[in-house]
Amino acid sequence: MIGFIGLGVMGEPMCRNLARKSGRSVLAWDLRAEPLERLVADGVAAARSIEEVAKKAEIVFLSLPGEPQIREVTKGLQDNTVVDCSTAPVSLAKELSTQLANFADAPVARTRQAAIDGTLSVMVGGTEAEFQRMRPLLAHIGTDIAHCGACGAGQAMKLINNMVLFQNVVALAEALAVVKRTGLDPALALEVMSKGSADSFALRHHGLKAMLPARFPERAFSVEYARKDLGYILQLAKHLQLDLSGARNTRTVLDKASAAGLGKEYFPALMKVI
C-alpha cells in the first residue's frame, strides 16, 4: 500500500495520479476533510491519523508546506520508506536520511496543471538503489525524473531551480513597470521578448498567464511559499559561504509584497510592489 500525507495544491493531484495509475491501494491523510472527500472517487482511502498511514503503508509520500510540518510528520514514520516531495532545506533531507529506515528527497517543479496532468519535473536525492525503486512510482506524477545525487541533492536542485525562477519573475515585474511608464503595450512587449533572448519559462507562464492579465489567485504557489523557499536557499548559501545578491534582492521584493498584504496571492503578485 502507498501512503500519501499532505493534500494541498500539488499533493492532491499527485495523490490522485498515484491512485489512478499505479494499480496499488492508496491511503491518504490531511488536516482538511475536503481533499480526502474528493479523492474517494479515485479510490483513495482516507486515513484517520498519521499513525494509521505509518502502520498500513510501506511507502509514504509527503507533500507538506515546509520544515516544521515535515519534522512533525516524520516522527511517526521511522520504519517506512519515505519519499519527500515537499520543498525543504538540504540540511533537513540529510538529517532525515540518517534517522529514517529508508528516505529519498524528491521535490517537484512546474505548475499545478502539471501536477494534474502528471507531467511534473522530479528531482531526486538518494541512493541509486532507492532511486531505481522509486522511479516507477514517480513516473506516475512526473515525466522528467532526475537522480541528482545523494540525499539532499534533490532539495538543492529544487531550491536552485526556484531561485532562478523567482529572479526571472522579479526581472519581468521590473520590465513591465518600465513598459507601462514608457507607454508601451505590455502584451506586445511580452510577445516581442518571447521571440528574443529574453524568452523564458517565467515569461511564457508567469508573465503571459498571470502578470499580463493580473491574475493572482489564492490556493496557488503563494508569495509566502516563495519567501519560504528563498529562505532555504539563502540558508544553504550561508553554509556554503556564498553571497547571492540576486537572491537577496528577490527576497526583499517578496518581503515587501508580504508586508503589503499579498502573502496568500500567487507569487507573481510581487509585481504590485515594483
Q: Which pLDDT band, with edges at 50, 70 and 90, does 219 fall under?
A: confident
Entry pTM = 0.94
- In the chain the domains, ranked by start, together with CATH numbers, are 2-150 (3.40.50.720), 157-273 (1.10.1040.10)
The answer to whether the CB of 173 falls within 8 A of the CB of 268 is yes
Residue count (the chain): 274
Q: At CA 138, angle to CA 52 and CA 216, rounded to 5?
A: 90
pLDDT score of 86: 98
The whole-number average pLDDT for the span 71-87 is: 97
pLDDT of residue 200: 97
Q: Answer left, alpha or beta for residue 46, where phi above 0 means left and psi between -120 and 50 means alpha.
A: beta
pLDDT at 148 over 90: yes
For the chain, percent of residues with pLDDT exceeding 90 = 98
What residue has cell string 507569487?
267
Q: Which residues contact 37 (CB under 8 A, 6 or more apart)?
A: 46
Instruction: Report the DSSP beta bridge partners of residue 45.
Output: 27
The predicted model gives 109-113 an average pLDDT of 92
Please list the active-site residues.
Answer: 158
The pLDDT of residue 169 is above 90 = yes
Helix (H, G, I), strand (E, B) or coil at 144: strand
Contact 107, 158 (CB under 8 A): yes
Question: How confident is residue 82, by pLDDT bands cut at 50, 70 and 90?
Answer: very high
Q: How far is Cα 151 from Cα 170, in angstroms, rounded to an integer?
A: 31
Looking at the chain, the whole-number percentage of residues with pLDDT higher than 70 is 100
